[in-house]
Structures are given as structure tokens and as C-alpha cells.
Amino acid sequence: MSLTALAWCVLMLVLSVLALTRPIWGIATYILMLFANPNNWWWGKGTLEGFGHWTLTAGVVMLGSAVIGYRPQAKDGAPDVEPGVFRFLMVLYVANLVFVTFVFAADLNASMAILILQLKFLLLIICLDAAIRNEADFELFLM
């Protein structure tokens, strides 16, 4: 195992543990996995290559941290978007996805694959909304 792979494993472990304390670290774990997946880099060949579900693991960490760390957001002042509006837009998004998938699909199997990808994207948006609670979280997200 190379030194880079060892550093990556330590970073993955540290971010996963930090995700239990603050959900934004779960997002950081997922982003690390998305862009520094060991299967896509020279340093991941060999030892880390045997386990091919790194992104799924990071997604479970992200979702778990969002569920464990969820609490209603107490904001200073009025929120930019009311929670009811956000939920309505998400329901409208899912309804549009399902409608387009089943009504306008030339090939239902190909369309279902796109629907599943879009639903995963929606879950990512919901996790981001649950994880970013204040400006400090937003700054961590941008780093």
C-alpha cells in the first residue's frame, strides 16, 4: 500500500467519525469519495481495489450522518425559502420525474435507469439541505 493510499484511508476514517458529530462532515466524506475514489487513481490499485463500493459506503455515511444529526433548523431571522416551499418543490420534482418516465418514455428500461439516477440526486439535495445549517457549515461545504 502506498503512502498516498494510507493517507486517503486515514482521511476517510477521520471524516467518517467526524460525520457522527456534524452532518456536514458526511457531505465532505461523500465528496472525497466522489472525486478521490481509489479505484480511479494509481495509488488505489492493488490493496484498495478489491472493495469496489467506496461511493456507496460514503453515501451511507452521508445519509446516516444526516439522519443522526437531524434537528429542525433554528435560523436567525426569516429563512430564504420556507420549508413548506422546499418540500412542495421536491414533491413536484418527483411527480415530474415519474410522469415523464412513464408517459413519455420510448424505452421504459432506459428511462427507469435515468429515474433512479435522478432520485439519487434528489436524495443528495435533501442530505445537503439537512447538513448545511449555518454559515460555518456552508463554508466547510465550499472548501
**Region 111-129: what's the mean pLDDT?**
86
DSSP type of residue 81 = S
Full-model pTM: 0.72
Buried-state track 77-105, b at ≥16 Cβ within 10 A, e below 16: eeeeeeeeeeeeeeeeeeeebeeebeeee
Q: Which residues lie below 8 Å from residue 100, measured CB to CB, with a gap of 6+?
A: 111
pLDDT digits (tens, 9 = 90+) for 63-108: 888 888 776 655 555 555 566 777 788 888 888 888 888 888 888 8
